[in-house]
Structure 1
Amino acid sequence: MWKPDRQSKQPLYEQIADHLERRISYGEFPPGSLLPSERKLAEQLGVNRSTVVQSFAELRSMGIIESRTGSGTRVSKYKWGITPKHTPNWSRYAEGGSFLPNQPFMRRIRKALTEHPSLIDFASGELSKDLSPIDEITTLLNEPQSISYLGYDNPQGYTPLRQALVSYLRDYRGIQTTESSILITSGSQQSLYLITQCLLSPGDAVAIEDPSYCYSLPMFQSAGLRLFRLPVDQDGARPEDIRTLYKKHRIKMVFINPNFQNPTGTVLKAEQRIQLLNIASELGLPIVEDDPFSLTAYKETPPSPLKSIDSTGSILHIGSFSKIAASGLRIGWMVAPHTIVERLADARQQMDFGLSVIPQQVAAQFLKSPYVEPHLDRLRMNLLFRRDLLIEALEKELPGLVCYTIPQGGLHMWCKLVPKVHDGKLLEEAIKNGVVFVPGSVYGSDSGFVRFTFARPQVEEISSGVSKFAKALQNLTNNRRE
C-alpha cells in the first residue's frame, strides 16, 4: 500500500493529494464514487487527520472532489466545469452479476491483513514459509532442463504430473487410478467450483457438513444450490442423515471432508465410512470427498480416503498440495470417472486454456524426487509441535474459557468459547489487539466458536497471539458487564 515519503521535500498533504488525483485519473475512483473518510484514510496512510483534511481541501479547490455534510466526500462529476460525459455506473456493475462476493467476515479478515501485515495470523488456512519445501523446490528448479515446455498443454493437465500422481495416490493414499481419470486443477476450490458449475443445476439440493468449510464458499449460493446440513459430531457426519435428506429433499450430491475435517478436525469413523458408501450406492448418490489434510496425521498412520474403498465408483476424490507442500504452487487434482474428467476439463479450458505448465512441471519433479517423504515427516513433526504450543497457550491464557477437542492431524484447532460473545465484535476487538482468526459462523456454526490455524503464524507468535486474543475477549466481556 502506498505511503507518503516523509523524507521528501514535498509536503505530506501535497503528496497525498497528488496520489489521490492519479488514482482518480486512472479510473480507480470514477466520477461520483465515494472516497474513504478523512479518519480512515489517515489511519491507512499513517498521518494526522489534519493532513488529510488539507489534501481534500486541495482537491476540492481544483474541482476534483466535492464534500457534502452527511454524504461524505465524492469524486466530482463536473470536474473543472467541463460538461460531464457519461461514465458507466461501476458501483452498480460491481454489485451485479450472479457470482456472489466473499462473506463479510472473510473480506474483513483479508482487508485487515492487507492493511496491518504485523497482525498475528490465525486465520489463513495455509502453511507458513518455513513449513514449505522451498529449498527442495529451488534445487529442482536449478537442475538442467527443469522446465522443458512452455506452450498450452493437455486440458486435463500436464501428462507427466498425472502419471506421477498415479504412483503418489497409490503409494500414499491407497487409491488405484489411471492418468486418464485425473484432472489437474489450481486447488481444491477450483475443483469444487467446476463441480458446482458443470455437474449441478440451479435449484439442486446438496448435503454439506455442519460446520463445514463449504459454508465459507459463496460459490454454492452463486450456483443456485439448496444447501442442507449434515451435523458433525466427534465421530464425523452421520450417514443415516443422508438417507433422511434424500427422502425429504432429493439431494443430488454429498460434500464431505472425512479426514481431519475443516474446521472441527474430526475423523469419520471406519464403520461410518462403510455405511456412507453403502447408502450412496443404494441411492445412486455421488459423494465429493475433499481430502487435503490426511497426510498431516501427526503420529498414527494417515486415515485412508473413502476413494480407496470405493467399489462402485461413487466418489469424486479431491486433493491438493496446498496443505502439505505449498499453496503458491496452485496444484490440486480430482480423481473421477473419465467422462466427468473430460466434461470438467472442457469447461476449465474455456476459462483459461488450462493451468500454467511451469508449476505442474515443478510438482511432477517434486513427486518423483526423494524429497517427498522427508518433507512430510518434517511437516508432521512441526505441526504437532505448533499444535502443542497452541494448547499450552490456550490453557495458560484462557483457563476455563474455551473448550476444544485435540486434533490428531490437520492445521486447525476448533474452539468453543464459554463466554457468550458476538462474532463480529470479537473479531474487531482482536484486530485492534493485533491478532486475527476466523469466527465459527463463517462455517455455519452458531456464534461463539473460533478456528485457530496454527500452521500459519511463526512458532514465536503462537503464545503472544493467544495472549492478544485473550485480551480482546476479556475487553469484550468486561465492556458487556459494564
Structure 2
Amino acid sequence: MWKPDRQSRKPVYEQITDHLEQRIAYGEFPPGSLLPSERKLAEQLGVNRSTVILAFSELRALGIIESRSGSGTRVSQHKWGATPRHTPNWKRYAEGGSFLPNVPFLRRIREALQQNPSLIDFASGELSGDLSPLNEIAALMREHHYASYLGYVDPQGYMPLRQALVAYLDKYRGIQTTESSILITSGSQQSLFLITQCLLSPGDAVAIEDPSYAYSLPMFQSAGLRLFRLPVDHDGMCPDDLHALYKKHRIKMIFTNPNFQNPTGMVLHEERRAKLLEAARELGLPIVEDDPYSLTDYNGLTRPSLKSVDSTGSIIYIGSLSKIAASGLRIGWMVAPNAIVERLADARQQMDFGLSVIPQQVAAQFLSSEHFEPHLDRLRMQLLYKRDLLIEALQKELPDAVQYEIPQGGIHMWCKLIPEIHDAKLLEEAIKHGVVFVPGSVYGSDSGFVRFTFARAKTEDIGPGIARFAKALRTLTP
C-alpha cells in the first residue's frame, strides 16, 4: 500500500492530494464513487486525520471531490468533461456475481496485516520462511536445468511431477496409484473448488466437520451447496449421524480432514475411520480426504490416510506442498478415478490452461531428492518447538482463561476461552494490541473459541504475541 514519503520536501497533505488525484484519474475511483472516510484513510496511511482533511480540502477546491453531510465524500460527477457521462455502477458489480467474498473476519484480518505488517500473526495458515526448504530448493535450481520448454503442459500436470508423486504417495501415505489418476493443482483450495463446481450441483447436500476449515471457504456457499455438520471431539469427526443425515437430506459427498484436523488439530480415531468408511460404502457416498498435515507428526509417526485403505475407490484424496514445504510453490495434487481426473483437468484447462511448468519441475526434483526427508525431520522439530513455546506462553499469560488439547502434529492450537468473549470485539481489541488470530466462529463453532496458528509467527514473537492477546482479553473481561 502506498505511504507518503516523510523524507520528501513536499508536505504530506500535498503528497496525499496528488496520490488520490492520480487514482481518481486512472479510474480506480470512478465519478460518483465513495472515498474512504477521513478517519479510515488516516489509519491506512499512518497520518493524522487533520492531514487528510487538508488533502480533501485541496481536492474539493479543484472540483475533483464533493462532500455532503451524512453521505460521505465522493468523486465529482461533473469534473471529468463538460457533459455528465454515465459510469458503470462498479459497486453493484463488485457486490454481484455468484462467487462470494471471503468471510468478514478473514477480510478484516487481511486488511489489518496489510495496514500493519508488524502485527504478530497467529492467523495465517502457512509456514514461516525459516521453516521452508529455501536453501535446498536453491541448490536444486543450481544443479538442474529447468524450463527447456515454456509452453502449455499436459492439463493433468507435468508428467515427471506426477511420476514423482506416485512414488511419494506410496512411500509416505501408503497410497498406490498411477500417473493417470493424479491431477496437479495450484493447491488444496483449487482442488476443492474444482470438486464443488464440477462434481456437485446447486442444492446438493454435503457433510463437513464441525468445526471445519471447509466452513470458512465461501466456495461451498457460492456453489449453492447445503452444509450439514458432523461434530469433532478429541477423537476427531464423529460419523454416527451420517446415516440419519443421508436419509433426511440425501447427502451427496463427505469432506474430512482426518489427520491433525484444521482447526482443532485432532486425529480421527481408528474405530471412527472404520465407521466412516463402512458408512460411505453402504450409502455409496464419495469422501473427499484433505490431507495437508500428516507428515508434520512431531513423533515422526506415519498417520495412515483413509485413501490407503480405500478398497472400493470411494475416496478423492487431496494433498499439497503448502504445509510441508512452501505455500508459494503453489503445488497441490488430487488422486481420483481417471474419469474424475479427466473431467476436472478439462475444467481447469478452461480456467488457466494449466500451471506454470517451472514450479512443477522444482517440486518434482525436491520430492525425489535426498533433501526431502532431512527437511521433514527439521520441520517437525521446529514445529514442535514452536508449539511448546505457544503452550508455555498460554500457561504463563492465561493459566485459567483457556482450555485446549495439545496437538501432536500440524500447525494449529484450538482454544476455548473462559469466559466466552464476543468474537468481533476480541479481534478488534487484539489488533489494537498488535496481534491477530482467527475467531472460532469462522470455522462454524460457537463464539468463544480461537485458533492460534504457530507456524507463521517468528519464534521470538510467540511469547510476546500471546502476552498481547492476554492484555486484549483482560481489557474485555469484567
CA distance in 1, matches of 2:79, 2:131: 52
Residue of structure 2 equivalent to 1:215: 215
User: Given residue 316 of structure 2, which amino acid in structure 1 is its aligned partner?
Assistant: L
CA distance in 2, matches of 1:337, 1:428: 46
Per-residue CA distance 1:428-469 (angstroms, 9 max, x = gap): 000000000000000000000000001010000000000000
After superposition, residues 241-260 of structure 1 pair within 5 angstroms as: 241-260=241-260
Residue of structure 2 equivalent to 1:175: 175
Return the offset for 1:311. Answer: 0.4
User: Given residue 430 of structure 2, which amino acid in structure 1 is its aligned partner?
Assistant: A
Secondary structure class of the residue paired with 2:206: strand
Q: Is the 8 A contact 1:99 1:222 kept in 2?
A: yes
CA distance in 1, matches of 2:336, 2:264: 27
After superposition, residues 33-432 of structure 1 pair within 5 angstroms as: 33-79=33-79, 82-432=82-432
Per-residue CA distance 1:112-156 (angstroms, 9 max, x = gap): 000000000000000000000000001111124133321100000
Residue of structure 1 equivalent to 2:21: 21
Secondary structure class of the residue paired with 1:79: coil
User: Given residue 72 of structure 1, which amino acid in structure 2 is its aligned partner?
Assistant: G
Residue segments in structure 1 that go unaligned for 5+ positions in a row: none
Residue segments in structure 2 that go unaligned for 5+ positions in a row: none
Q: 1:144 to 1:184 in 2, by over 3 A?
A: closer
User: Given residue 87 of structure 2, which amino acid in structure 1 is its aligned partner?
Assistant: T
Q: Is the 8 A contact 1:185 1:331 kept in 2?
A: yes
User: Given residue 470 of structure 1, which amino acid in structure 2 is its aligned partner?
Assistant: A
Return the offset for 1:201. Answer: 0.3
CA distance in 2, matches of 1:374, 1:115: 37
Q: Is the 8 A contact 2:204 2:225 kept in 1?
A: yes
Q: Is the 8 A contact 1:208 1:214 kept in 2?
A: yes
Per-residue CA distance 1:248-305 (angstroms, 9 max, x = gap): 1110000000000000011111121112111111110000000000000001513100
Return the offset for 1:80. Answer: 6.1
Secondary structure class of the residue paired with 2:87: coil
Q: Is the 8 A contact 1:296 1:410 kept in 2?
A: yes
Return the offset for 1:425. Answer: 0.3
CA distance in 1, matches of 2:402, 2:20: 46
CA distance in 2, matches of 1:53, 1:102: 32
User: Given residue 51 of structure 1, which amino acid in structure 2 is its aligned partner?
Assistant: T
Return the offset for 1:84. Answer: 1.4
CA distance in 2, matches of 1:227, 1:160: 37
CA distance in 2, matches of 1:233, 1:49: 48
Residue of structure 2 equivalent to 1:471: 471
Per-residue CA distance 1:388-437 (angstroms, 9 max, x = gap): 00000000000110000000000000000011210000000000000000
Aligned length: 478
Return the offset for 1:46. Answer: 2.0
Return the offset for 1:210. Answer: 0.3
CA distance in 2, matches of 1:389, 1:12: 42
CA distance in 1, matches of 2:357, 2:294: 26
Q: Is the 8 A contact 1:430 1:436 kept in 2?
A: yes
Moved more, 402-411 or 232-241: 232-241
Q: Is the 8 A contact 1:140 1:366 kept in 2?
A: yes
CA distance in 2, matches of 1:79, 1:401: 57
Return the offset for 1:81. Answer: 6.5
Residue of structure 1 equivalent to 2:443: 443
CA distance in 1, matches of 2:302, 2:384: 14
Per-residue CA distance 1:165-214 (angstroms, 9 max, x = gap): 00000001100000000000000000000000000000000000000000
Return the offset for 1:233. Answer: 1.1
CA distance in 1, matches of 2:184, 2:80: 54
CA distance in 2, matches of 1:168, 1:203: 37
User: Given residue 452 of structure 2, which amino acid in structure 1 is its aligned partner?
Assistant: F
Return the offset for 1:9. Answer: 2.0
TM-score by length of 2: 0.99
Secondary structure class of the residue paired with 2:240: helix
User: Given residue 290 of structure 2, which amino acid in structure 1 is its aligned partner?
Assistant: D
CA distance in 2, matches of 1:302, 1:117: 37
Q: Is the 8 A contact 2:146 2:358 kept in 1?
A: no
CA distance in 2, matches of 1:442, 1:189: 16
Per-residue CA distance 1:376-397 (angstroms, 9 max, x = gap): 0000000000000000000000
Secondary structure class of the residue paired with 2:318: strand
Per-residue CA distance 1:67-126 (angstroms, 9 max, x = gap): 011111111111167211111110000000000000000000000000000000000000
User: Given residue 183 of structure 1, which amino acid in structure 2 is its aligned partner?
Assistant: L
User: Given residue 228 of structure 2, which amino acid in structure 1 is its aligned partner?
Assistant: F
Moved more, 207-216 or 265-274: 265-274
Moved more, 40-49 or 57-66: 40-49
CA distance in 2, matches of 1:195, 1:128: 29
Moved more, 299-308 or 113-122: 299-308
TM-score by length of 1: 0.98
Q: Is the 8 A contact 2:437 2:451 kept in 1?
A: yes
Residue of structure 2 equivalent to 1:4: 4
Secondary structure class of the residue paired with 1:232: strand
Moved more, 352-361 or 44-53: 44-53
Q: Is the 8 A contact 1:157 1:354 kept in 2?
A: yes
